[in-house]
């Protein structure tokens, strides 16, 4: 495991980089104790200034579509592709905080929505899932070619949060050295690296609050889909389900080629792939994340030397709010961009890419 020695808070990047406000270990505000508050309260915060996206629709060769929200900027500025979490999108609080930081730094961004997450239902029976590395592969290569990065010195970075982080890490591990042909560095945040452990955690105690939140939209979308595709699944059972295990067993697994929830979770977890990653990658998970037990987090021996583990004691799930009151969502994007900038400096001598 690499040790991340970040620049001091006074360090300022030159090439469109951000001025770091706090690159130290995360510490939660004293008035925001515990993983649940550190998860829920940031969800209510409106981070930074308004982001104006440019939406583009990609037509997929399978007949479906993918919606991308672009944060435009100079064509030679670094480009960051972001994959959101379960039922997230370009308006999620963690996405907006990252995009605000990119905008202030003069960088470009692209939020790629998983199918059905851009505000409109997708066309096909299938949806999206935590292990869909084939989808990640298609999306990143589309960005790479359409942004004409083959003969460019412009770095391409990628961030995945929660479910999107799991799919991204799985792709990075599967691709190995091939991923280095298009990606300069990656970051994954609040990742359910072990889906079985995460699923079990979300079915217990207060965590059922999060499960109900997710199921409120997951079930609505799936029932709408069954109106368009009668007989696809058991609508009555889906309407009655109250755990993510049940929903994945009734909908996610059968729609995406898995026998059941156990097979889906086992085959889709990214943790086993961490030791195969070759792209410099930062993994940030709070040890008090309600979605991912600290006991299931990987050790140094379970990851590649190119993977940097950052596991602060606090932060919640995709939270990492900073003082002063009412709080600001700047620690996480600054931590990620400082890591990316270090990798760009390390790769200054590698200015050409081979065709992927």
Q: Does residue 21 carry a pLDDT above 50? A: no
Range in 51-65, 187-201, 260-274, 334-348 the model is least confident about? 334-348
pLDDT tier at 344 (50, 70, 90 boundaries)? confident
Q: Does residue 350 carry a pLDDT above 80? A: no
Range in 41-50, 297-306, 333-342 the model is least confident about? 41-50
Region 242-251: mean pLDDT is: 98
Q: Where are the beta strands (DSSP E) in the chain?
A: 54-59, 65-71, 79-83, 108-112, 156-161, 185-189, 281-284, 307-310
Region for 332 from its dihedrals, namely left if φ exceeds 0, alpha if ψ lies in -120 to 50, beta otherwise: alpha
CA angle 159, 160, 163 (to 5 degrees): 175
Please, what is the average pLDDT of the chain? 91
pLDDT tier at 232 (50, 70, 90 boundaries)? very high
pLDDT tier at 47 (50, 70, 90 boundaries)? confident
Contacts of 243 (CB under 8 A, 6+ apart): 202, 203, 208, 211
Counting residues of the chain whose pLDDT is more than 90, the rounded percentage is 87
Q: Does residue 340 carry a pLDDT above 60? A: yes
Q: Does residue 43 carry a pLDDT above 80? A: yes
pLDDT tier at 24 (50, 70, 90 boundaries)? low
The closest of 39, 130, 51, 56 to 91, measured between CA atoms, is: 51
89-140 tens-digit pLDDT = 999 999 999 999 999 999 999 999 999 999 999 999 999 999 999 999 999 9
The closest of 339, 342, 321 to 331, measured between CA atoms, is: 321
Catalytic, 289? Answer yes
Contacts of 305 (CB under 8 A, 6+ apart): 1, 2
| Distance in angstroms (rounded) separating the CA atoms of residues 298 and 316 | 18
| Distance in angstroms (rounded) separating the CA atoms of residues 169 and 266 | 15
- How many residues make up the chain in this entry? 356
pLDDT for position 173: 98
pLDDT for position 303: 98
CA angle 233, 226, 139 (to 5 degrees): 95
The distance in angstroms from the start CA to the end CA of the chain is: 27
* Active-site residue identified among 97, 133, 162, 190: 162
pLDDT for position 356: 72
pLDDT tier at 8 (50, 70, 90 boundaries)? very low
Q: What secondary structure letter does DSSP report for 120?
A: S
Region 277-300: mean pLDDT is: 97
Does domain 1-193+269-348 fall under CATH 3.40.50.1820? My reply is yes
Burial of 151 from C-beta contacts in 10 A (0-12 / 13-18 / 19+): exposed
The closest of 129, 128, 124 to 228, measured between CA atoms, is: 124
Burial of 231 from C-beta contacts in 10 A (0-12 / 13-18 / 19+): exposed
* Active-site residue identified among 194, 268, 317, 338: 317
Extents of the domains making up the chain: 1-193+269-348, 195-268
* Active-site residue identified among 93, 289, 304, 338: 289
pLDDT for position 50: 85
pLDDT for position 1: 42
Catalytic, 69? Answer no
Q: Does residue 36 carry a pLDDT above 70? A: yes
pLDDT tier at 249 (50, 70, 90 boundaries)? very high
For 76, the token pair is 């030679």
List, in sequence order, the alpha helices (H) in 12-57: 35-43
CA angle 66, 338, 99 (to 5 degrees): 35
Q: Does residue 16 carry a pLDDT above 70? A: no
0.85 surpassed by pTM? yes
List, in sequence order, the alpha helices (H) in 256-324: 261-268
Residues 12-15: contacts with CB under 8 Å, at least 24 apart: 13/105, 13/341, 15/344
In the chain, DSSP finds a helix count (H) and a strand count (E) of 11, 8
Catalytic, 269? Answer no
pLDDT for position 346: 80
Range in 6-10, 250-254, 287-291, 333-337 the model is least confident about? 6-10
pLDDT for position 46: 77
Q: Dihedral of the CA atoms 345, 282, 107, 134 (nearest 10)? A: 120
Helix axis angle, 331-346 to 93-105, nearest 10°: 50
Region 246-260: mean pLDDT is: 98
Q: Does residue 55 carry a pLDDT above 50? A: yes
pLDDT for position 4: 39
Region 258-283: mean pLDDT is: 98
């Amino acid at each position: 495991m690499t040790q991340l020695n970040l620049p001091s808070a006074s360090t300022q990047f030159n090439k469109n980089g951000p001025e770091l406000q706090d690159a130290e270990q995360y510490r939660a505000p004293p008035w925001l104790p515990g993983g649940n508050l550190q998860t829920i309260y940031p969800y209510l915060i409106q981070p930074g200034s308004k982001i104006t996206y440019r939406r583009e629709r990609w037509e997929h060769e399978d007949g479906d579509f993918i919606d991308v929200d672009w944060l435009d900027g100079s064509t030679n500025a670094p480009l960051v592709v972001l994959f959101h979490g379960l039922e997230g999108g370009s308006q999620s609080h963690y996405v907006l905080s990252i995009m605000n930081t990119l905008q202030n730094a003069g960088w470009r961004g692209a939020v790629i929505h998983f199918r059905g997450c851009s505000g409109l239902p997708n066309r096909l029976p299938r949806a999206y899932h935590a292990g869909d590395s084939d989808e990640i592969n298609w999306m990143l290569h589309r960005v790479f070619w359409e942004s004409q990065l083959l003969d460019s010195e412009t770095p391409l970075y990628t961030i995945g949060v929660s479910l999107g982080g799991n799919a991204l890490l799985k792709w990075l591990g599967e691709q190995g050295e091939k991923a280095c042909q298009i990606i300069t560095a990656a970051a994954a945040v609040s990742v359910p690296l072990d889906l079985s452990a995460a699923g079990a955690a979300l079915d217990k105690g207060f965590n059922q609050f999060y499960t109900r939140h997710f199921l409120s939209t997951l079930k609505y979308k799936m029932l709408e889909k069954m109106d368009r595709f009668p007989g696809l699944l058991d609508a009555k059972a889906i309407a009655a389900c109250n755990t993510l295990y049940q929903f994945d067993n009734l909908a996610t697994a059968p729609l995406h080629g898995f026998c059941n929830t156990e097979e889906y979770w086992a085959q889709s977890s990214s943790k086993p792939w961490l030791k195969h990653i070759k792209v410099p990658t930062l993994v940030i998970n709070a040890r008090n994340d309600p979605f991912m037990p600290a006991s299931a987090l990987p050790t140094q021996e379970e990851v590649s030397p190119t993977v940097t583990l950052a596991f602060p004691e606090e932060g919640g799930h995709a939270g990492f709010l900073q003082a002063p009151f009412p709080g600001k969502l700047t620690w996480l994007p600054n931590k990620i961009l400082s890591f990316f900038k270090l990798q760009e400096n390390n790769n200054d001598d590698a200015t050409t890419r081979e065709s992927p």
